[in-house]
Amino acid sequence: MSRRNRVRSAPPVALALVGAVALAGCGIEPTGVVESGRAANVPVTAPRSADVLYFVAPDGRLAPSLLRDPRVSTGVLLGRLLSGPGTQERDSGLGTELPARTDRAAGPVRVEYRTAKQVTVRLPHVLDAELSDTAKDQLVCTAAVSVDASAKAEVVLVTGDGPMSPRRCPLAR
């Protein structure tokens, strides 16, 4: 290597060494994990070509689960919700507050559309037991989003004990 090539390559090598030394000695000490509060709460709306089931996250909040199957009716969608979380949802830590539906003979979920923004959901007799507010919200949000992506539809749940008060999804925008 000639003297001229050594002189030309010296400045870039020197700059790289100075930069590495400067970065290594910048005085920033490593820290442990810094708690910053709860995770962000972001509303999720299903695209027009997908259905959403609402399950319960470990912290008790409703969490959407997007179905990638072809669109199905609201009644079929609610039947899937009543069947409980699938493998994907369970692996994600999602659960349900709805009672287990093991008896298929209990009957289907029937849905009546009163208006574009009002739906009546007739539940199988196995759900005559008292449902928690979270369980009701799972049903209401799943039904409301299937009717209107903004989830603003009013939903009346009906069991063998009769109709419940109209509800709206608490996640509606």
pTM score above 0.75 = no
In a domain, 46, yes or no: no
Tell me, yes or no, whether 43 lies in a domain. no
- What pLDDT was estimated at residue 127? 64
* Closest to 43 (Cα-Cα) out of 25, 63, 66: 63
**In whole angstroms, what separates CA 58 from the centre of its chain?**
12
Helix (H) or strand (E) holding 11: helix 3-24
Residue 41 counted as domain residue: no
For the residues of 96-118, what is the DSSP string, one character each? --SPP---GGG---EEEEEETTE
Q: Which amino acid is at 29?
A: E
The residues pairing with 51 across neighbouring beta strands, listed in sequence order, are 67
Q: What is the pLDDT along the chain (173 residues), one digit of tens a residue?
A: 555 555 555 566 666 655 655 555 556 676 777 777 666 555 555 455 468 999 999 999 999 999 877 778 888 899 899 989 999 999 999 999 998 765 554 678 899 988 878 999 998 865 656 789 999 999 999 999 888 888 889 999 998 888 999 999 999 86
Long-range contacts of 37-46 (CB under 8 A, 24+ apart): 43/171, 43/173, 45/145, 45/149, 45/150, 45/151, 45/173, 46/145, 46/149
Q: Are 145 and 52 in contact (CB under 8 A)?
A: yes
- Structural domain includes residue 143: yes
Residue 38 placed within a domain? no
Q: Identify whether 12 is part of a domain.
A: no
Report the pLDDT value the prediction gives residue 49, as an integer from 0 to 100. 46
Given this model, what pLDDT does residue 46 score?
47
Give dist(CA 160, CA 167) in Å, integer.
18
Residues in the chain, total: 173
> Burial, 144: exposed, middle or buried (Cβ in 10 Å; 0-12, 13-18, 19+)?
buried
Is residue 157 within 8 A of residue 82, CB to CB? The reply is no
Query: Both tokens of residue 140?
Result: 């209401």
| Structural domain boundaries enclosing 62 | 51-99+106-168
Tally of domains within the chain = 1
